[in-house]
Structure 1
Amino acid sequence: MSNFISHIATLEIPVTNLELSIEFYKDILGVEVEFKGEKNAMLSFKKKGVPTIFLVGTEGRKGISFNNTNNGIEHSIIDFYTPNLKEFYQWLQDKNIEVTTLNINEDHGFGGFGFKDPDGNLLSATNVLHEGQ
């Protein structure tokens, strides 16, 4: 077992319009701009141990996500935590942000859903925390 890596430092997200994306992430996630260059920006939640978000300008619009070939569901590679899953879902809908179906397990109340940034990058929200988070 490696003792070299202790946590995730930064999530890098490709964007085609840096200004639009900065405003989206500030508004939707509540992050602050730590650094803004001509073609990239570092965003932060200002919490210890939480990864920063590095928006990287690109010309190609591919979107980050993948298809689960076992069930055909499109998955994000980033899940953001919220204790208020239903309220966040409704808030995004009210802001006309594209969202997927809200999935909540009725037995324990945990679940999540996907939402897209201006470039079509699929992000997810969940109300699940794991040990150590």
Structure 2
Amino acid sequence: MSHLFKRIDTVFLKVKNFDEAIDWYTDVLGLSVRFRDDKNGYAAIDIGETPLTLVRTEDHEQIEDEQKVWFNFFCPDIDRAHRHLVNQDVEVGQIYEEGNIKWFQFKDLEGNPLEVCHFQE
């Protein structure tokens, strides 16, 4: 561990439709809002120690390269997570497996590529 840094405090993700994005992350993924600042356009979504902070923006460009995922969600049951997202009509890719790691990609409401991974802890 670093003598200067204790942890990553948050991960930022730009969104155009701020309210809809918050609803999607809470309704579809089942996460909760840690804090919300409508005036400045920030909403921290609670996902363990490091929140995902949605940032309202007007100039968000979609990431064309689907392999360019900025972070992933760890889950204990990847098959259950995959089924849940499919049942929520989320654009979901197939589950890949390499060694003891499994993963798949999906897209949020605005097309941001996200990823889920699983491995034995």
- State the match for 1:117 in structure 2: 108
- State the match for 1:42 in structure 2: 44
The Cα of 1:77 is off from its aligned counterpart by 1.3
Distance (Å, rounded) in 2 between the aligned partners of 1:28 and 1:113: 17
Percent sequence identity is 26
Distance (Å, rounded) in 2 between the aligned partners of 1:63 and 1:7: 28
TM-score norm. by structure 2 comes to 0.83
Distance (Å, rounded) in 1 between the aligned partners of 2:24 and 2:67: 22
The Cα of 1:119 is off from its aligned counterpart by 1.4
Q: What letter is aligned with 2:103?
A: G
Q: How many residues align?
A: 119
Q: Superposition pairs for residues 1-133 of structure 1, below 5 Å?
A: 2-38=2-38, 39-45=41-47, 47=48, 50-63=49-62, 67=65, 74-105=67-98, 108=100, 110-128=101-119
The Cα of 1:26 is off from its aligned counterpart by 1.1
The Cα of 1:63 is off from its aligned counterpart by 3.5
With 118-127 and 1-10 compared, the bigger mean Cα shift is at: 1-10
SS at match of 1:56: strand
In structure 1, stretches of 5+ residues that fail to align are 68-72
SS at match of 1:74: coil
The Cα of 1:2 is off from its aligned counterpart by 4.5
Structure 1's consecutive aligned runs of 4 or more residues displaced over 3 angstroms after TM superposition are none
The Cα of 1:21 is off from its aligned counterpart by 0.6
* 8 Å CA contact 2:28, 2:88 repeated in 1: no
With 80-89 and 34-43 compared, the bigger mean Cα shift is at: 34-43
* 8 Å CA contact 1:64, 1:77 repeated in 2: no
In the TM superposition, what whole-angstrom CA distance separates every residue of 1:82-113 from its partner, at most 9, and x where no partner exists? 111012112111111011221124x54x3100
Q: What letter is aligned with 1:87?
A: R
**Cα pair distance change 1:88/1:79, threshold 3 Å:** same
In structure 2, stretches of 5+ residues that fail to align are none
The Cα of 1:35 is off from its aligned counterpart by 1.9
- Quote the RMSD (CA, aligned, Å): 2.3
With 4-13 and 26-35 compared, the bigger mean Cα shift is at: 26-35
